[in-house]
C-alpha cells in the first residue's frame, strides 16, 4: 500500500504538460498555380493574422478573376494547420518542409455541401507577384481591343514548369516566323531566354525548344490549347540530368 500511495503522490505532482504551440504563418505574399485548371492563386497574409485571397485564370493572362475576397478573413491556426474561410471554399494551409505552403482548397455550394478539392503549393513572393510582372510587361498585347498585326503578334502561352515546391511560372511567346521566347517569372527578376524551335522526331504534334547555352530545354506535345511535356536539363555531353514536368495553356488575347 505504501508504494501505491507514493506512486499516486508522484503522479499528482507531475508538471502540467504544455499545450502544443499554434502554427504561425509568416506575413507576406504567396503565389502558386493549380496545375489541372491552370488557376493562379495569390494569398496575402498580414502581420495581424488576417488573409486575403485572389485567384485568376492563366488562359486570360491573369486578367480574369475567378475569386477575390472582399474583406480580409481571419487566419485560424492550431498546432498542425491554419484555415481561411472564403465564401465558397475553405483553405487548409500547412508549411512545406522545403519551402512555402501546401494548400487544400475545399469547395462547397451555398448549403456548404462539399463539391471538390484542389491541392497546390504556394511559394513566398520575394518582389512582385508573377501576375503583376507579366501583365506590366505585356499590357499592350493583353488589353488591346484593336486588331493585332498577325505578322508580329506572338501566340502566347502561360504555364508551370517543375515540381510543386520548386515550380516556376513560365510564359512562351511563339512568333509567326518560328522564333520562341521563354520568360521565367519565378525569380526576383524576369529571366527571358530566346529559344530555337525544332520538330520532334517521329511525331507530328511535338516540338523541342532549345534554349541558349542549354537553359530550359523543353520537350512539348500539343493537346488542343495545351502544350504538355517536360523540361530536360542536360550536360554538354547530352546526358540528361533532370526532368521536370511542364504544362502550358494558350492565352486568349483580345481581338
Is the distance from CB of 89 to CB of 106 less than 8 angstroms? yes
Is the distance from CB of 163 to CB of 244 less than 8 angstroms? yes
Is the distance from CB of 5 to CB of 12 less than 8 angstroms? no
Q: Which of 208, 213, 188 is nearest to 198 (CA)?
A: 208
Cell numbers describing residue 246:
511542364
Block means of pLDDT (10 residues each) for the chain, length 255 residues? 46 56 90 93 92 93 82 88 90 88 91 89 91 91 63 86 86 89 81 84 82 79 91 64 87 74
The C-alpha torsion from 235 through 170 and 212 to 237, rounded to 10°, is 10
Amino acid at each position: 500500500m505504501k508504494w501505491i500511495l507514493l506512486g499516486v503522490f508522484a503522479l499528482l505532482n507531475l508538471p502540467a504538460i504544455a499545450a502544443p504551440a499554434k502554427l504561425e504563418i509568416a506575413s507576406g505574399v504567396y503565389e502558386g498555380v493549380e496545375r489541372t485548371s491552370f488557376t493562379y492563386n495569390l494569398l496575402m497574409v498580414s502581420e495581424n493574422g488576417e488573409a486575403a485571397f485572389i485567384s485568376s485564370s492563366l488562359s486570360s493572362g491573369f486578367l480574369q478573376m475567378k475569386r477575390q475576397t472582399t474583406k480580409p478573413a481571419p487566419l485560424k491556426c492550431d498546432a498542425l494547420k491554419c484555415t481561411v474561410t472564403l465564401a465558397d471554399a475553405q483553405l487548409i494551409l500547412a508549411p512545406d518542409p522545403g519551402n512555402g505552403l501546401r494548400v487544400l482548397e475545399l469547395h462547397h455550394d451555398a448549403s456548404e455541401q462539399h463539391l471538390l478539392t484542389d491541392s497546390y503549393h504556394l511559394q513566398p513572393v520575394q518582389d512582385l507577384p508573377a501576375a503583376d510582372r507579366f501583365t506590366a510587361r505585356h499590357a499592350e498585347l493583353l488589353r488591346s481591343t484593336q486588331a493585332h498585326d498577325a505578322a508580329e503578334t506572338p501566340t502566347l502561352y502561360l504555364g508551370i514548369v517543375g515540381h510543386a515546391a520548386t515550380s516556376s511560372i513560365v510564359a512562351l511567346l511563339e512568333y509567326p516566323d518560328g522564333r520562341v521566347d521563354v520568360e521565367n517569372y519565378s525569380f526576383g527578376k524576369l529571366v527571358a531566354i530566346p529559344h530555337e524551335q525544332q520538330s520532334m522526331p517521329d511525331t507530328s504534334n511535338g516540338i523541342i525548344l532549345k534554349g541558349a547555352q542549354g537553359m530550359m530545354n523543353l520537350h512539348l506535345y500539343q493537346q488542343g490549347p495545351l502544350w504538355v511535356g517536360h523540361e530536360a536539363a542536360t550536360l554538354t555531353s547530352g546526358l540528361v540530368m533532370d526532368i521536370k514536368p511542364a504544362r502550358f495553356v494558350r492565352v486568349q488575347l483580345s481581338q
